[in-house]
Amino acid sequence: MKTEIISIGDELLIGQTINTNASWMGQELAKIGIKNNRTTTISDTEEEIKIALTRAEEYADLILITGGLGPTKDDITKKVLCDYFETELVLNEEVLLDIQEYFKLRNKPFLESNNQQAMLPEKCKVLRNKMGTASGMWFERNGKVFVSMPGVPYEMKHLMETGVFPKVRKKFGLQELAHRTILTHGIGESFLAEIILDWENRLRAANLEMAYLPSPGLVKLRVTSNQGDFKLVNTFCDELYSIIPEYIFGEGTITMQETLANLLLERNATLSLAESCTGGYASHLLTKIPGSSSFYEGSIVCYSYDIKEKELGVPKSTLLDKGAVSKEVVELLSEAIKNKYNTDYSIAISGIAGPSGGTEDKPVGTVWISARSNQQVVSRRFNFGNNRERNISQSALAGFNLLRQLILSEQSNP
């Protein structure tokens, strides 16, 4: 079975919009065991769309089309689809009611052009769109499936999830896959691969699949059974917790800061931060989480020596003797912020983000992090390399992870 994505829109070709739709679809297709074999991005002209449809029909069994629909662009794509499938636009009463309701709910005036959106090709099966006014259209010819969807990402995703995936699975007789995604932090892909080599070999011998999905600051391990054998997937994934317990921080799509937030919420505990090199980024990651005010009190971004000294009481002599990037200073910072903001936990981060400021002893990328509870403090030195933005983001994640591990260690050794 072959799949092709056709993305329609000049804004994609000239780089005004990045084609995240195609990558999302590629990812989601992979999860149900379908590989996207080709993506073609074209202008919304009759000629280009016809060429793309003809070639896709020769090549693929499943053709997913996004874009070229909507109140102003509707005409060309729908007209081409009608020509291509030798059918005509007819009024779909149900869709018309949907659209009228959509405008009513949003207190928006219903324009004549919106009526057009209820005109749909007679031969297609209409996929109702509850997130917008452009319907999805499902065509079949000679066992091949074509689906046309609007290009607005959340409308496309809604149609894919509610309409397309279930129908595709049925149409192509796909078994449900069994997946589990384990999230690791603090170890690179190649080192990880070495440690879990034996496990991975056994996993493959048991007919499971495994993919390393690296993204900034973490490596995801996705384990898949194409036979839908959830039990087997679980056996292997559970085993991983005894092989690399120190690197696993979660599963699925959770972020490091969300796992920490959950630990704090479960304990009804509060957190404060003292950030130097991360300059507010760690605080930003926490406050991006809706409801973070339940566990997060605030922080001091102590970018200068002065603020470290005056606001957080680090003695000038310590700053000069040990340097701002030192175990001593981050431990004083984590203590001061915890007391000052009266929280259950604190994290302090101080490092040399670069590009300048490095020394032989402490090159750019050197970062000291201290995490503190009422019982204990743990501090660690890291080196994240030369890139300033990477240093900032890795430091924040490492700080969250250090506190996460501290909290878990207290749970197991009360």
Q: Which is nearer to a second copy, 357 or 409 (CB)?
A: 357
Closest CA to 136 of 51, 66, 87: 66
Q: Which is nearer to a second copy, 178 or 333 (CB)?
A: 333
DSSP-derived secondary structure letter, 311:
T
Q: Which is nearer to a second copy, 145 or 282 (CB)?
A: 282
What is the rounded CA–CA span in Å between residue 385 and residue 401? 19
Please report how close the Cβ of residue 267 comes to a second copy at its closest, in angstroms: 17
What is the rounded CA–CA span in Å between residue 59 and residue 51? 12
Please report how close the Cβ of residue 290 comes to a second copy at its closest, in angstroms: 5
C-beta separation of 60 from 4 below 8 A: yes
Q: Which residues contact 160 (CB under 8 A, 6 or more apart)?
A: 25, 28, 149
Please report how close the Cβ of residue 409 comes to a second copy at its closest, in angstroms: 27
Q: Which is nearer to a second copy, 41 or 255 (CB)?
A: 41
* Rg, Å, the chain Cα set: 27
Task: Report which residue type is found at 10.
Answer: D
Q: Which is nearer to a second copy, 292 or 379 (CB)?
A: 292
What is the rounded CA–CA span in Å between residue 98 and residue 160? 18
Tokens representing 360 are: 């032989």
Q: Which is nearer to a second copy, 134 or 352 (CB)?
A: 352
Residues forming beta bridges with residue 381, ordered by sequence position = 368
Q: Which is nearer to a second copy, 2 or 125 (CB)?
A: 2
Reduced 3-state DSSP string for 188-225: CHHHHHHHCHHHHHHHHHCCCEEEEEEECCEEEEEEEE
218-225 and 125-127 strand pairing: unpaired
Please report how close the Cβ of residue 336 comes to a second copy at its closest, in angstroms: 12
Tell me how far CA of residue 74 lies from CA of 81, 224, 383, in angstroms.
11, 39, 53
What is the rounded CA–CA span in Å between residue 219 and residue 233? 18
Residue ranges binding a second copy (CB under 8 A): 12-20, 22-30, 35-43, 48, 55, 213, 273, 275, 277-284, 286-288, 290-293, 296-304, 306-307, 311, 340-342, 353-356, 388-389, 392
Residue 167 CB neighbour total at 10 angstroms: 15
The residue to which tokens 């009266």 are assigned: 342
119-121 and 89-91 strand pairing: antiparallel
Please report how close the Cβ of residue 126 comes to a second copy at its closest, in angstroms: 27
Q: Which is nearer to a second copy, 58 or 86 (CB)?
A: 58
Please report how close the Cβ of residue 184 comes to a second copy at its closest, in angstroms: 16
Q: Which is nearer to a second copy, 41 or 66 (CB)?
A: 41
C-beta separation of 179 from 222 below 8 A: yes
Q: Which is nearer to a second copy, 26 or 315 (CB)?
A: 26
Please report how close the Cβ of residue 297 comes to a second copy at its closest, in angstroms: 5
Please report how close the Cβ of residue 9 comes to a second copy at its closest, in angstroms: 11
Please report how close the Cβ of residue 218 comes to a second copy at its closest, in angstroms: 14
Please report how close the Cβ of residue 325 comes to a second copy at its closest, in angstroms: 13
Residue 271 CB neighbour total at 10 angstroms: 27
C-beta separation of 64 from 4 below 8 A: yes
Cα-based angle 94, 28, 292 (whole degrees, multiple of 5)? 90
Please report how close the Cβ of residue 216 comes to a second copy at its closest, in angstroms: 12
What is the rounded CA–CA span in Å between residue 299 and residue 271? 9
Q: Which is nearer to a second copy, 3 or 92 (CB)?
A: 3
